Structure 1
Amino acid sequence: MILRWVERNSLTMAAWEDESTVEEVLRAAGTKLDGTPVAASTARRTKRVLNVLFEHAIKKKVLKKNPLPKGKGAGAAASKTSSAVDKRSLLNKEQAAKLLGWVYYRPRGGPRLHTFFAAMYYAGARPEEVVAIDVGDVRLPDVEADDQWGELLLHTAHPEVGKQWTDTGEVREQRGLKGRAAGDTRTVPCRPALTRLLRAHIEEEGLKPGDLLLQGRRVEGSPAP
């Protein structure tokens, strides 16, 4: 029924031979509902998706040629993007210290959450990477000192996707690092402040290699996480 509705309300592929149709689609793809332009990265991504669809249609002999305009100034893709980070949107040291201090004194699991957010802040790791860190992946110097650097070996991510979406019925799913080949790893410097914090966390929790660095808080009477 849904496919029949789509068929009745969709233009034929011949419509793509009309340049005005192509221009209208690109204009719509580059505009939000309120009429303002979408982000340049969104416009570029949309054109890439359309390009893949059209190339597939050409392969299947549904279209004779790709109707998307080529070259500079080609529709919505003409907008320039920047990979630079706006430093005005970043936390400064004072703000980070206040936030981490506030987290530490939360009544339920404050110290563990403090370690979690500190690893994200100091190591630049994603949340799903931090929760997957094994104690053996934390490489701390043998000698304890205030200025010692360590390393974190990131190789797995455990994003929370919901148990209804995983094959195992678990809340989290095990994946590789985002944007990297399967089995790839990433070594991250562990600055002295984080080195001291992780050393204290491992000692206080009594963790051993093979244990997760950050473990969920067990409520009395509930099964282990």
Structure 2
Amino acid sequence: MNPLTRIDWSAPETDDEVDFRYVPEPKMARELIDAVRAQGPRGEHLYAFLACMYYAANRPSEVADLKKSDLVLPEEGWGEMILAGSRPEVGSGWTDDGKPYEERGLKRRARRATRPVPIPPVLVQMLRDHIKTQGARP
């Protein structure tokens, strides 16, 4: 008799855990983000996007859907972002309305669920600077 048939095991529902062996330390991350910013207008535009992914552990699609009204950015100290949706880029051939992205709720959450995310002072300042220089959608 095959002993493997007696094993009761199923694969985990998700395998998207972060492998911290490949996450840069804070000093290196800041240098990488600053290097992107130094690349000119496009880098200036991407600076806050990458900072949100690193300092707040946001998915790219969550950052793409972030609005100014979703942010609490005090003059000093910790802030907060309230994530309410995501906007993954899927290509215009894959959407019903021909847009290159879809507007969705947060991944693995109810359609209208929100998720509060505390953001450290360094990201608060980066976002304040970005809004001042690049603007923000309403």
Q: What is the TM-score with the length of structure 2 in the denominator?
A: 0.85
Q: Report deviation, 1:206.
A: 3.9
1:34-73, CA deviations, whole angstroms, 9 ceiling, x for partnerless residues? Answer: xxxxxxxxxxxxxxxxxxxxxxxxxxxxxxxxxxx5xx52
Over aligned residue pairs, what C-alpha RMSD do you find? 2.9
Q: Report deviation, 1:82.
A: 8.8
Residues 1:107 and 2:37 are matched in the alignment: no
| Aligned amino acid, residue 105 of structure 1 | A
Q: Report deviation, 1:83.
A: 8.8
Q: 1:95 to 1:175 in 2, by over 3 A?
A: same
Q: Report deviation, 1:106.
A: 1.2
Q: Report deviation, 1:90.
A: 1.9
Mark the runs of 5 or more structure 2 residues left unpaired by the alignment.
Answer: none
Secondary structure in 1 matching 2:69: helix
Q: Which has the larger radius of gyration?
A: 1
CA distance in 1, matches of 2:98, 2:65: 18
| 1:95 match | 28
Secondary structure in 2 matching 1:118: helix
| 2:128 match | 199
Residues 1:163 and 2:96 are matched in the alignment: no
| 2:81 match | 152
Relative contact order, higher structure (CA 8 A, sep 6+): 2
Out of 163, 171, 188, the position equivalent to 2:117 is 188
Tell me whether 131-140 or 98-107 shows the greater mean CA deviation.
Answer: 98-107
1:130-159, CA deviations, whole angstroms, 9 ceiling, x for partnerless residues? Answer: 010111001112xx23xx111001011000
Percent of aligned pairs with the same amino acid: 39
CA distance in 1, matches of 2:110, 2:101: 20
| 2:73 match | 140
